[in-house]
A and B are shown apart, each in its own frame.
Chain A
Amino acid sequence: MPQWLLISCVIVAYLGLTLWVGLRAGHRASSTVEGFVAGDRNFGFLVMYFVTGATVFSAFAFLGGPGWAYSRGAAAFYILSYGVLGMMPWYVIGPKVARVGRQLGQVTQAQFLTGRFPSRGLSLLIAVISVAALIPYITLQIRGAGIVIEAVTEGHIPLWLGAAAAYGVVLFYVLVSGVAAVGWTNTLQGVVMLVIAWTLGLYLPFKLYGGIEPMIQGIVQQRPGLLDAPGLSAVGQAWNWAAYSSAILVSAIGLQMWPHLFMKAFTARDERTIRRTVVWFPSFQLFLVPVFLIGLAGVLYVDELPRPDFILPHLILNVELPMIMVGLFCAGALSASMSTGDALLHATASVAVEDGVRPFVPLSEIQQRRLIRWLILVAGTVAYVFAVSEGLSLVLLLLTSYGIIAQLAPPVVAALFWRRATTPGVITGLLAGTATTLLFFFQPELRPIPLHEGILGLSVHVPVLLAVSLLTPAQGDAHVQAYVSPSAD
């Protein structure tokens, strides 16, 4: 049997296993909107740990991480720096969000914010921002899956077919089982990702260089400057500290504000589960170490690869690995893609219905569930079309999304910790911050200092939120109390 056919069998077996786990998970959830969107608020520690870790680390980390280390050297290490910073505040904020959500029956980020700052316009604004940021993210995951399958089957399964197969499975289990499927498949996928990353990250340096230290020594001698922080820019010149530092800052601020991660606070069984998830997240963050070692293994082994994101599949196919390693690599890469893609698809449709439609059109429980399912299908189809089309700079769109998503942080913090915050203050702040971010993204030459556009957006957002809130009438004490000091359950 030809090698590509054997690898295809491994892929089919893995997709079958994922589908089985996803469908079985659905038996545990109720047939309510809360069951479909928030898993009946019943995720335990193990599931929450893997949901968080596997969702944060996507195909972008599994393929893009080695690509950055290979082409930009120490610049990639900024990705190591922001995870714990982004997660630590969630130890305090996450349980508070969950408590408010449980008491007020909320299942999305916009419901949480409009509970404190009542406004249908704000709900719609957050829905638009969220969906606009999530679609490019889903597209990247689908494309990642297609690229991997096409590469390892030597083109016998083209990108469009591989992506369709992997995401056909994802759509099926998300449509049938909702967030329960996301939780249990992410647990499987998280385990696979961790095992494969550590296996390959240690195996490749030993196979190619005889160890990690000889590999690093070789890079230092033959590519001086590559491993000096802040590394290289996308065009191969020295990157600057302002860009490196502000990338850490904006990513840390934005990390938990992504709707698909924020909403998981509503799925946790209790507050203790959220705290334990935060405490153990750094163990998942260390998964980036072998991911970068894989990329660094390619530095002296592979000459100028036109698309650095392909370094991992390139190494896998050119290093004469045992068949089992190639198959395992496929499972790991597909896990990274699918574990994020399923959560994104589910969040996109849930946010669109709960925050974009329901505040304007009354819907029954059955209608909500049905509409969410339809929109999961629509979002998946739109992202799939983008994924198989060439020419759209999705990475650029995604990087901008981080800046915009970070703008959701000040309203969340204000909702929980600042009694004097008002609805007009939050809306004007959000609009000003988002507009500033977009302005400096499209007109980078106008930036007063070379910081990430999201940080510049926040530097306008926060003063506007403060000033407008102080200039408008304060909210009633009883209303504010439910957020700032929510009573124990």
Chain B
Amino acid sequence: MRRLAAGVFLLNLLAVTWPVADWFSAAEPLILGLPPSMVWPIAWILIGWVTLLLLDHFENRGNGQ
């Protein structure tokens, strides 16, 4: 699970920096009323959060707690 989380971490880094971030840099079309340039980093906060929740869930279960 840690490897998967590390993979998501690297994807996150690539996604929010150049050149990948450039593909999601436009102000339109609006998504839920917000520009894609803002929605993209918000989406990665949520992806990071879910990844951490899953990582913690599996690690905690592995510890038998």
List A residues at the B interface (Cβ < 8 Å): 74, 77, 80-85, 88-89, 91-92, 211-213, 216-217, 219-220, 224-230, 241-242, 244-245, 248-249, 252, 272, 275-276, 278-279, 282-283, 285-286, 289, 292
**Chain A residues with CB below 8 A from B46, complex form:** 282
Instruction: Say whether A245 contacts B17, CB under 8 Å.
Output: yes
A213 (CB) vs chain B CBs: closest residue: B33
Instruction: Say whether A245 contacts B21, CB under 8 Å.
Output: yes
Instruction: Say whether A227 contacts B33, CB under 8 Å.
Output: no
Instruction: Give the CA-CA distance A211 to B52 in the complex, in Å.
Output: 33
How near does chain A come to B45, taking the closest CB pair, in angstroms? 5
Q: Interface SS of chain B: helix, strand, loop or mixed?
A: helix
One of B9, B27, B38, B40 near A85 (C-beta < 8 A) = B9
Q: What would 21 A/B residue contacts be, using CB atoms closer than 8 Å?
A: A74-B37, A80-B42, A81-B41, A83-B45, A84-B48, A85-B48, A88-B5, A88-B52, A213-B33, A216-B30, A224-B27, A226-B27, A229-B37, A230-B21, A242-B18, A244-B17, A245-B18, A245-B21, A279-B56, A282-B46, A283-B49
Instruction: Say whether A80 contacts B9, CB under 8 Å.
Output: no
Interface size class of B (residues with CB under 8 A): 35 or more
One of B9, B25, B51, B60 near A229 (C-beta < 8 A) = B25
Instruction: Say whether A241 contacts B33, CB under 8 Å.
Output: no
One of B13, B26, B34, B42 near A212 (C-beta < 8 A) = B34
Q: Mark B36-65, 1 if CB is under 8 A from A, else 0.
A: 011011101110110111011001100001
Given contacts A77-B37, A228-B27, whether A241 and B18 have CB atoms under 8 Å apart is yes
**Chain A residues with CB below 8 A from B55, complex form:** 91, 279
**Chain A residues with CB below 8 A from B5, complex form:** 88, 91
Most buried by B among A220, A278, A279: A279
Instruction: Say whether B38 contacts A77, CB under 8 Å.
Output: yes
One of B17, B37, B65 near A249 (C-beta < 8 A) = B17
